[in-house]
Structures are given as structure tokens and as C-alpha cells.
Chain A
Amino acid sequence: MITIARPTWRWDPWREMDRMQREISSFFTLPRPRRAASFPPLNIHSGDDDVIITSEIPGIDPGDVELTVTGDTLTIKGTRKPHEVKDGETWHRRERGSGDFFRTVQLPYTVDSGKVQAEYSLGVLRITLPRAESDKPRKIAVTPGK
């Protein structure tokens, strides 16, 4: 008897359709990640009184990141150090990026720069930017006239 070995994976149109359908339905739950303008990629989470920006910057020293807030603009600046090759070392693969990075984000309001918080854990930078008190919308009561 002759048996022909088949590859374990074959292109299956039904499976492809199913995958596409799942992809489309996921459009409605979360914004689909779009290509980042530059490194590091940012996600923005908006709240009523503040905005949280998270960014994946693995393998840096928190001291190597510089954050500045002026008015409504946030600037993230830093360096990701490359691996220093010693004698007798050879590369097999080099896929991780390194070098200087710089990004600016303009927020829809003025930030209370004194209350900005930033923490770096597990390679993710998380910045909380509260809206300045003076910039918050104020409700004006309408009194009935006579």
C-alpha cells in the first residue's frame, strides 16, 4: 500500500472565511490597531477627567526615558541601547530595534502638568495625564427670567 504524506496544514477556504468573519466582528469591540507612526507604539485610553497613554517600550532603563508636558502636548523621548557585541560573538538573528526614539502627542485639553504620573513596568510605560482644573467645562445654571 502506498501512503502519501500530506502536510499537516492546508489552505482551507472555510477556515479562511471563518477567520475573516471573526476579524470583522472584532472591529466593533476595540479600535483595530493601526500602524504606529513611529516607535514606540502608543495606545490612548480616554476618561472623563484624564487620559491614560500606554506604550510598549521593552528593555529600557526607566531613566532613559524623558517625558515633558507643555500645555496640551506630551513628548516622549528616549534611547533603546543596542546589544554590545563582544569578541567571539556571532549574530544569528537581529530583529529587535534600537536607537533613539521621539514622539509627540497633542491632547484635546490642557494638562495639569503637576499631576502627571508615569510608571514603567513589564516593558510598558503608562502615563496618566489629568485635565487641568481651569480647562474643565463648567456648567452654567440657567435662571428663569421675569
Chain B
Amino acid sequence: MADTTKNLEKAPAQETALAERTKDRPVFMPPVDIIEDANNLYIYADMPGADEKGVNITLENDVLSIEAQVAEVNFDKHTTTYAEYGIGDYRRAFTLNESFDRDKIEAKMKNGVLSIVLPKSEAVRTRSIPIKAG
């Protein structure tokens, strides 16, 4: 068994404002993997139950926000007798410390995992100054 124990419980999303949401349902903070290479930043977020239509990604003032609406699943003739996970929406935001090429950000949703590719802007890529050992 590897580190599957990590996401045993869905963590609630962080409250950002005093105002309440109009929908009375839980909001979770999706667990993420964030990886960087020379040209891009990759974000993977686990959001089971959300489809591509319900996902909303915004980049405003270096804050990348991810929001996903999860459709209600009805079990008309069944009653939930035991529950280990709650169902609700997802929300999480990150402050990015580099500038990215906004127009080239790509995102896709597959099997409940959101993948976002943020290409670093040309300016950032050329700005780095190589340091010589002296």
C-alpha cells in the first residue's frame, strides 16, 4: 500500500468571505498535484463527480481559482444508509508567482481529474539570468 491514505477525507474549502453561498451544500477543497518544468506549470485536481461543464477556472491578478459544480445524483428508490464521503462542490485558489500566457492556458477534465497546463510567458522564460561559478 502506498500513500493512498492521504485523501481519505475530503477537506472543506477555505472560507474566503463572510458572505454565505446561496446553495446549502458542502464545498470541498480538492487535493492537488502541482508540477513545474522549464516551460509549463501543471495542476492536477481530484474532483470526482464534476464534469467539464461544471468547471470554472479563472485567472485574475495572479490568483488562479478553480470551481466545480457537482450534479446531484438521485437514488429515487434507495436511501443512503452508510456514508464515508460527502457530496458537494469544489473550490480552491492559488497565487501564482510567475506570469503565464493567459491565452494559452489549457484545461481538461477526465474521470474526475482536472488537468490544467499553464505555459510560462515568453518574458519569464527569457528573463532568467544564468549565474556563472566564479
Contacts and interface: CB of A to CB of B under 8 A. Distances in A.
Whether A associates with B in a native complex is yes
Interface of A: 8-9, 15, 22, 30-39, 41-48, 51-52, 54, 56-60, 80, 82-83, 85-86, 88-101, 120, 122-124
* Interface secondary structure of A, over-half rule: loop
B18 A96 contact: no
B4 A94 contact: no
Contact of B8 (A30, A38, A47, A54): A38
A39 B8 contact: yes
A96 B36 contact: no
Interface stretch (B46-54, B58-66, B122-130): B46-54
A41 B85 CA distance: 6
Interface size, B (range)? 35 or more
Given A91-B34, A97-B3, A122-B112, A35 B17 contact: no
Contacts, number: 161
Contacts of B2: 82, 97-100
5 contacts: A33-B85, A39-B7, A92-B34, A95-B7, A101-B4
Nearest to A102: B1
B84 A41 contact: yes
Given A88-B38, A95-B33, A97-B7, A30 B44 contact: no
B36 A89 contact: yes
Nearest to B87: A43
B49 A83 contact: no
B3 A98 contact: yes
Most chain A CB within a 10 A radius of its CB, from B2, B6, B51, B83:
B83
Nearest to A121: B111
Contact of A92 (B3, B4, B6, B36): B36
